Structure formats: C-alpha cells, structure tokens
Amino acid sequence: MKRLLRPLWRHPDKFDGPGLLRVLRHGDGASRVAAARELARRPETPATQALIALLTDPMPGVRRAAARGLGWRGAGAEALERAAKQERTSTVALDLAEARVRCGVPLAEATPSPLVMETAAGPRDPERLLGLGLGEPERALARRVAEPLAELRAGLSERARRDDLQALQDLAELGEDDGLIETLRPSLGKRGENARLLALGLLGDPAVLDELLDDLARMDLDPGRAFAHRRLSALALGRLGVPDVCKRLVRALEVEALEHEGRPGAGLGVQYPVRAVLIWALGEVQAPVADLLCGYLDNTHQSALGGFHLPAMAALWKLGDLARPALESAARGSSVAAENARRVLAHGSS
C-alpha cells in the first residue's frame, strides 16, 4: 500500500490536515518534508500545535519547515527557544533563529553561535573555513527580517524577474518563491544556473531531490561547470535535510576521490574540494554514518583546506548521540584521529 501511495505523497497540497499528518507519520523522507512544508503554509490553528510538535522531529528538513511555519505565524516562542538550544545543524539553527526574531526575540539574543571546535592547532570554525553553515548569521537574519514579510517577498520577486540573481537567492531563503525559480530557469545562463542551485537548497523543497542527486554525478559538462554542479548540489542536499540521500552522498564521496579530485582537469576541485561539502552535507542531514566520518579524523593533508578532518569533526558533532559509540572507539590510543575524536566528544559534552 505504501508503494502505491508514495507518488501521491509527493503532492501534499492534495491532502487535508489529517491527511498531511498521516504522511508525516508514514511517508518517506522527501514526502515527510513536503508535508511539513505544506502544513507550515496553512493558516489553521490546529496546524500551529502540529508544527510545534515537529520541532523535535528526527529529520532536519521537517524541523526546518516547522520553524519557518511558526515564524510566519509569530507563534510558539517558548517551543522555538527550547528547540534552538538543542539544534545542531546549521541550516535549521538559522531558521529557528529567524522564527524567534519574528516572535519578538531581539536579533542579538536569537542569533546562533558559530561552531568553533578545539583542534591540535587551536580553535577552528570548520564551516567558516568552507564558506558554509552559519557564515555571518546576524547579517543573514537582519536581511531576512528587515521589512514586513509580504513587502520583502514582493520586492525580491520583482528584482528577480529583472535578472537579479542575488534577489532570487534571497527570495528562496525566505522559504517561498511561488514557482519563480522554475519560471526563470529557461532564461538563466551558466552563472544563473549556479544561482538556481543555491536557491533550491535555500528554498528547501524536496521536489528537486532527484535532480540534485543526478547532479552529483554530472559527467556531460566541462570540468569547471561539472565541479560547480557537484559542489552546489551537495550543498543544496545538505540544506534540504532529508537523510534518505545518505547512500548517494557516500557514493559521491567515493567517486570524487577516484574520478575527480586530484586528477588532471579537476580544476577548482583541488582548491575547494567537493568532498568537504559532501561531508558537511552528511552532518546537515544527520546521516547515521559515524564510522565513515571517523575515517576522516586523521585526514590532515588531502586538500588545500588542510584535509578533511575539520568538516568530519563538525559533522560528527552534529550527529550527537548517533556518533558517540564510533567516537569513543576512535578515541582510544594516541593517534591524530584519536585526539580529534576526543575533542569532538569533549565539545559535545560542553
């Protein structure tokens, strides 16, 4: 029966409120995120209580949709505060912060702290090093809540239609685009296609999941464009927060090492490796792959960014209790990997 219903689950606008809740209980990852996004858009009072309950859902994409819906309503301040204290993924943390500001919490109080981890070389912010994660969260939040939401969306939509690519991304960051991203797609050039991929991740709509997964293995483009597609697709998949993509992300890690990075023609993949973004994405979707990530804890030299141990440490911290057994095992001994594992465990308990 579930196999028969799955295609319908991907169209949550066809369901009434109880139907959406059934999809949230029984659907696959993408369907559950789509249902949570649809629930967030609906003005009914019962939906508010359902969204509050979804703030503790194990799936990051569902929590993200719930936070956005509560922010648009200006409701659930106490629940949002509790969720913000527990949240480990950067994508959801920023949406929780925006929702709290819309509920009246001062910007400075709601702004999440960057993920700074102790390493053998001193404190490091792995996500800032990659240009990912929270970045400059206070500036991002100020941009999102600068005007009344309806006016902000209207202004951004008009600018995007005039080929303002930053406006297209800013509009997606608010969680709504009314189909504008796809409407403008035929007129987008190479630069615009990159902006579109960024916007898809910011928008968080799982309807594009299959397209993004296909882009992880693009071989029909020149090396520079293929690198950009793989990197931006990995980034978008992390932001969608659907753990179902775990196996494809792991496979993409293997392919990057064997077929792309470090090979002639790899281009920017050497300076800004796709593998680092894939590892970040595994943390953002909270994929249960702690053993694999621990295998990168001693990787201090395979990229221009100083290896892959820093994004792996951040991803392991985001897994929380899921990573503890693997980290405790890796922490035994005196190796570089053991020291980094101990530092992740210490950060998790602080």
- Whether 269 contacts 295, CB under 8 Å: no
CA distances 22 to 7, 14, 39, Å, are 15, 13, 12
Kindly report, residue by residue over 271-315, the tens digit of the pLDDT: 568 899 999 999 999 999 999 999 999 988 766 667 889 999 999
Residue 87 in tokens:
């949240």
Provide the 8-state DSSP code for 220: S
Kindly report, residue by residue over 90-140, the tens digit of the pLDDT: 999 999 999 999 999 999 999 998 888 888 778 888 888 777 766 677 878
Question: What pLDDT was estimated at residue 134?
Answer: 63
Kindly report, residue by residue over 203-244, the tens digit of the pLDDT: 999 989 999 998 887 666 665 677 888 889 999 999 999 999
Question: What pLDDT was estimated at residue 350?
Answer: 52
Question: What pLDDT was estimated at residue 330?
Answer: 96
Whether 347 shows a pLDDT value over 80: the answer reads: yes
pLDDT band at 248 (very low <50, low <70, confident <90, very high): very high
User: Average pLDDT of 193-202?
Assistant: 88
- Whether 236 contacts 200, CB under 8 Å: yes
- Please report, for the chain, the start and end positions of each structural domain, with discontinuous segments joined by +: 2-112, 147-203
**Helix H or strand E encompassing 228:** helix 223-240
Crossing angle (nearest 10°) for helices 149-161 and 165-173: 150
Helix (H/G/I), strand (E/B), else coil: 348: helix
- Whether 256 contacts 222, CB under 8 Å: no
CA distance 67 to 51: 8
User: Average pLDDT of 252-270?
Assistant: 67
Highest mean pLDDT out of 18-32, 154-168, 250-264, 282-296: 282-296
- Whether 231 contacts 279, CB under 8 Å: no
Kindly report, residue by residue over 17-35, the tens digit of the pLDDT: 788 888 888 888 999 999 9
Whether 265 shows a pLDDT value over 70: the answer reads: no
Whether 3 shows a pLDDT value over 60: the answer reads: no
CA distances 17 to 31, 43, 48, 319, 334, Å, are 15, 11, 11, 31, 55
| Among 54, 15, 19, 56, residue whose Cα is nearest residue 33 | 54
Share of the chain above pLDDT 90, in %: 46
Architecture of the domain made up of 2-112:
Alpha Horseshoe (1.25)
pLDDT band at 53 (very low <50, low <70, confident <90, very high): very high
Instruction: Please name every residue paired with 260 in a beta bridge, in sequence order, or none if there are none.
Output: none
